Each structure stands twice: as structure tokens, then as C-alpha cells.
Structure 1
Amino acid sequence: MKISNKILLLVFSIAFLSSCGSRKDIVYFQDTSNFETLVDDNAFEPKFKIDDEVSILISTTNPEASIPFNLFRGVAESGGTPDQVSYLVDKYGEIDFPVLGKVKVAGLSPDELRTLLRSKLEGTYLNDPIINIRLKNFRVTVLGAVNRPGTYLVLGERVTILEALGLAGDLNIQGKRQNIMVLRDFNGTKVTRRIDITSKEAFKNPMFYLTQNDVVYVEPSKSAIKTSSLDQRVTIGLSLVTFAITSVLLLTR
């Protein structure tokens, strides 16, 4: 092999090795030890926010007594069952509940709202009411360096950032795992915080459990940004060369 070819091969090898991500850049939860038990001291409890869509179903042993407290519209096309009307949390954090009128729900958890409604209904209107509450518009959005960015519907009452990233197909190899941003809305005020999922401290981060309408943004790594910039320069350069060659050919005809 000629010396020039050896030098060229060496240069390509160095460039390839330098572009490869290290274990420190890629592996999750690197500081956990074998058989370590992680305890969540701050148990997450979802809270209702402005613009939430809440489903509330009241039932008792006397079905007729609970009818005034449940709203339904028409008859569903699928099976002849009426569609239950959900409640929208207005800009004041309230819902307009049948018979009871305005009820403040913003900032309450489902259990707290259930307790509040039971205190207002039991004895005065109903005996032993069963109250089922469900948040219907629990969505999270995952953007950036993930395999399937988009907005995802959450069926349960809570979701972790790891589960949200799983819905989005996980981070791609160019995603920055140490500095994931979560954008959250608190009654019209936007707040952001970063979370490092390469560390076990992620489990203690307030953003580990997501709330409705959270936005998760995975920033691309520096190498990805450099590669993108290089690709753009190469594309522009090739376009200029093509334009120059075409111009010369046209002028020399």
C-alpha cells in the first residue's frame, strides 16, 4: 500500500473514532449500582389545570337519584348508549357542575376532587355516591432528537418521561441525554426545567413525572449539529459547483 493511501486510511480512521459517542454520552442511569433500591420520596399526584377536560360520573344504588348529576348528549351511533358530557376547566379554574353550580377544581388531584364532590353530595342529595373521575385530554408532546416526534395521548393518570420517550420511539443516537428540557404550563405561566436521564437523580427530578400538555424537547448533540452544518455547507458547495459548470458549458457553446 502506498504511503499516501496509508495516511488517508489513518485520517479516516481517526475521524470515524472521534465521531463515535462514548458510553458516558449514551448509557442511561450510569451511576446505579447492582441491587440498588431507589425510593421515590416525592410521590407524584396529578393536578387539574385550566383547559382540562374532565369526565365525572356519579352513581348510587338508586339510579334515578343520580340522573340530575350526570350530563349526556343524544345517543351514540355505535351501540345506542348516550354519550357522557365532560366538563371543561375554565380560565378561573372552575367547572359548571349540575345542581351544585361552579366548583373550583384547578390545583386539585382526582382524589381531592372526589372528596370535595362527595362532601357536597352525600346526605344532602345522595346516599353513598360512587364518583368516577377521569382526565380525558392527557397529552404530551415529544420533539427533537427522537425517532418518532409527535403528540401522544396518555390513557392513565400519570406518565413518566421515560414512558413518553418510549412512545416517541426513544432518543436517536444523536440525542443529548444529559440535558432534556421539559416545558410545562402552570395556569398560563410557562416554566422549563432540565433532566439528565444518564443519572439516577432523574427519579427525584420534578419533571420525571409529566403532567398534561407537557412538551419534552431532546436537544441534538454537538456532533449532530456540526454534522448538520457540514451537510448544509456541502450541499451549498455542490450547488455552486453545478451552477458554475452549467454556466461554463452554456457560455462555451
Structure 2
Amino acid sequence: MTTQPLITPADLLALVSTQPLVLVDARSGSTAYDHFQAQHLQGARHVDLNRDLAAPAADAAVGGRHPLPSLEGFAHVLGQLGIGPGSHVVVYDDKSGANAAARFWWMLTAVGHTAVQVLDGGLPAALAAGYPTSAGAEVPAPAPPYRATGWRLPTVTIEDVERATQTGSHLIIDVREPARYHGETEPIDLVAGHIPTAINVPFGSNLAADGTYLAPELLQEKYTAVLGPRPASEVIVHCGSGVTACHTLLAFAQAGLPIANLYVGSWSEWSRTQRPIATGE
């Protein structure tokens, strides 16, 4: 079953009353699990960005702050969440899908799972719609490790990105906030600035004022103009550590466009090497 990448709270309420699904809370940060235990959407299981959706190394110069985990490790996580090939999965966070919800969607899509959706507007929208909540821990019935044979969505390495800056073979899109791209501030990584030749299309521009995604036709118009004649295979999308970039890749999918290349290491990897750094426009 192929599903649209986004689902509204109203449609989720209707869906949960008619068929089983796996609801995943992907809020991140040091207090995320405490917040989950205090209140979460009824039936949701928690997934942790650092533990479950990444395999951080001692040195972020190798792979960035949130490199992908092993395929086997992710398959085990999916099994522990009770997710199998036939599961309908809905994932949310509290950042309009801009954080780990989009990353989880990308990873699950990348192993070939088609029935996965991100809750449009995230937790705030669900609460506003009256979705029931629970507190405490949730212990799903585990399933066998997911039968995954490889990552099927395209990624690029730091060497690929470096070649693209030298040859112009790819359009590089940096989705971070403009101040970080311009090198005016850097609240997370060690050096401010951006990858040379990259353009800035902030992930926030995917959203309407209420924190939900723009309509598919508006996203299609937006990214068709950004990409021009380039196919998605000649587009690289990155952020700080390969998480928020997935928000824009989700926008591609919502617009009906092929999903572009993800540079997982992103600025957190590039900025820790001796490669060139640009500032300003």
C-alpha cells in the first residue's frame, strides 16, 4: 500500500478508529522521553533520535552528528517498535515534522516501507484537534527485526559533495536558517558558514503560518522553480546533521517530485574538515 507522505490530525482520528496502525512519537532532545511520559498521543511508542535513528561516532568529522545507524540496527529498532512490512505507520514530533519525524519517515521509506506518514502540524495540531492522549510508558508487542535489504533512497558522501562544488554537477540545497547559512551565527556546530556553491532554501519555507506543510501544488511550484531543469538525481539536500534536511525531502515527496540525494553528514561533517567554507550569499 502506497500512502501520501502527510496525514492530517482529522484523518488520523478517522483512521485509528477503523484500522490498526503504529503511532510513533519522535520528539528529540535531552528531555524528550520525560515529555513523552508526561503526555503523548494515545498508543504512541517513543523513538529516540540519537539512540535509534543515528549512530553517533566519537568524531563528528566522520559522518557528522547524526550518521545513519547500521541497517541491521535499524531493522532491530523497527521490530522493537512492533513495525513489520504490513504495518501502517504514522510518526510525529513537536517541530512540525522538521526534526526526527521527517528523519524517521525518510529512513523507513529508504528501507522500502510505503505505508508511512508524518502527522502534518505535529503534536500541537493533534492536541488542537482533540486527539486523545496518554501518560507513562508504552510497551509495544515486539515483532521480528524488519526484513530490510538496503537503503533504497539516494545519499551522497562528503567526497561527492566536494566534487559537486568543483564541477557544478549538482545543485546543493542548504535548508538551515538564513543566519546559519550566511555565517552570522552557529549555535550547534564549531564553525559558521556554508558549503561553497550551496544555495539556501530554509526548511521553514515549506510551511504555512500555522505550522502545516504548504499545499502540494504550492510545494511543486516552489521546488520546480528552485530546481529548474535539473532532475532530482542532480540535487543534494543537507542541513546541520542530516535530520532537518529530511523535512525538505518530505516536501519533495508531498509535491509529487522524486526524492533528491541526502547528504547525511551535512554541515556538521563538512565544517569539521579542512574543506572550504563560504559566508554571506
Determine which structure has greater relative contact order: mean sequence separation of CA pairs < 8 Å that are 6+ residues apart, divided by chain length.
2
TM-score, reference length from structure 2: 0.22
Larger Cα-atom Rg: 1
Q: Larger strand proportion, structure 1 or 2?
A: 1
TM-score, normalised relative to structure 1:
0.23
